[in-house]
Amino acid sequence: MGELEREKKYGKSVPVITESFASKAMVPGDTWKVYLKASDPDGDMNSIAAVVFQPGQGQYQVSYTRVNNENAKEMNGFIYLNTLIPGGYDFLNFETLTLTVQIKDKAGHYSKPVEFPLYFDPRATTQEPPPDGVFKEEGLGPIMTILHPIGGYSSGGFGS
């Protein structure tokens, strides 16, 4: 189905990420929550596209998280990235990454991208919580990306 046919069937409106939040620092090995509020007047939000960029590793493959039909018009919750890596999460100490998120609808439109920087601080105690009353504590799905350590794996771990 071409773009014109998709727009005729699903509409011309583009999804919009209206609010977003993610902690800028966390302990390596924790699960990172990225909060999103999004809407699409046509009610055809289809997936959340997430791309991780990690210095020394480059850009990972795009991860698509399917949007539940109940959330196709209005979405509020969090996607999450597991940062526990094979061979030991200590390889992420003091490393950074950037996550870019967009919402895709059934017509093939993408929202404007939102970027989230993350610094892995082994001294951090907890992730910064989202602002009160803005986001639901509802899991929207995982970011299907497995992080790789900079400089290889420890002995006895994965790939040894």
Q: What is the pLDDT of residue 49?
A: 98
Contact 52, 81 (CB under 8 A): yes
pLDDT, position 87: 65
Q: What sign for the dihedral angle of Cα 114, 88, 59, 13?
A: negative
* pLDDT per 10-residue tile (average), the chain, 160 residues: 82 94 94 97 95 93 93 94 76 91 95 97 91 96 89 43
Taking the C-alpha atoms of residue 157 and residue 160, their distance in angstroms, rounded to an integer, is 6
Report pLDDT for 4: 84
- Domain borders along the chain are 3-142
pLDDT at 2: 81
Please report the pLDDT score of residue 157 as a whole number. Answer: 39
Q: Measuring CA to CA, how many Å separate 116 from each of 26, 71, 130, 154?
A: 13, 22, 13, 28
pTM of the model: 0.89
> What pLDDT does 112 receive?
98
| CATH class (in words) of the domain with range 3-142 | mainly beta
- State residue 6's pLDDT score: 85
